[in-house]
Structure 1
Amino acid sequence: MNATMKAVLPTLMVMASLALPRGLDAQAGHHPDPHHGQQAQQAQQMQRMMQRHIQRCTESIQRMDRMRDHARQMEQQSMREIERLRQQDMTRDQQRLRDQERIREMSGAMAEAAQEMSRAMERVREMAQNRETAMDQEIFREMERLRQHMEEAAGRMEEGLQSMERLRERIHRPSS
């Protein structure tokens, strides 16, 4: 079972459980409770909100994974530049070598941070897939608030990666 199916399966189960009681009532000739329709509507609305929340969590995870990959790529590029500078063993390049090592270390740290944020967002998504947890509106609001904070942090991280990329490129260019 792929990840998409694992993510969708709980939603399908909830939808089936919401539809099943009405189908049995109709077959047995029972008339639905007038409040049942309103409750079903509220449950469907909450289900749609949870589906959107889960989708946004998935998108955040993918974004953080891309940042992690970008940071790892920068780390690898810095390592190649460090090796090139070491082979040249020129005194004037020693400062550039140290700077490249610092960029490499920062890139590694950013990749680890993005990985940890991705794991945390996966936990939020898992909580949202738990029907009992997800149906509590207060918990849902807090999970959504947490997702938004993590998304903002991811945006700041992306800006930091862009700054590091510019630094790495500038350090990589020989002095004029």
Structure 2
Amino acid sequence: MIAFAAAVFFLIVTPGPGVLSTAGVGAAFGGRAGVRYVIGLCIGTNIVALAVISGVAAVVLADPRIRTVLFVLSTGYLLYLAFRIATAGSRIAFIEAQHKPGIRDGLALQAVNPKAYAVNTVMFSGFAIGLGPVAEPVVKLLIMNAIWLPLHFLWLGLGVWLRSLDLAERTQRMINIAMAGSMLVVVGLALASLI
């Protein structure tokens, strides 16, 4: 179980669309909007997990046309996000939006978030903890949520904290480039999985 919890921690804490957008919502709109957004992400993540556990995701993704459409949408979104971050200049720019994101926005992101499907597939198809076919997924869901929620609230807190800082332009630009690079690594890993 410790190996499972450690894997969950490292897979979730690394930058991906969910945590980067969470920090962005905190930076742009503050904590209250961020909490609503994290609730949507959490519901979405658990829906993805249930789709993986039940096999629905495997059935849907078995159709190459659907898999290709979802891959193009998610990769395009990640490339767009990386571009927006990298070209934001001297502002901290995790993600920009014209309205306060809420629960629906978090749900929508997780529906096309390739990292959510990848993490859940790895976690539920690997790391057998020997509790049986019903108890094991339930325990894994509880462990994942116990790690997932605090990590996303930490990223939200980071965004709220960055909102309050007056960083030098060069520092802000370096943060943007590092975030964009992280997003490109996610895209690269997704593309590599096709080979």
Pair in the same fold by TM > 0.5: no
Structure (1/2) with the larger helix percentage:
1
Instruction: Name which structure has the greater RCO, CA cutoff 8 Å, separation 6+.
Output: 2
Scaled by the length of structure 1, the TM-score of the pair is 0.30
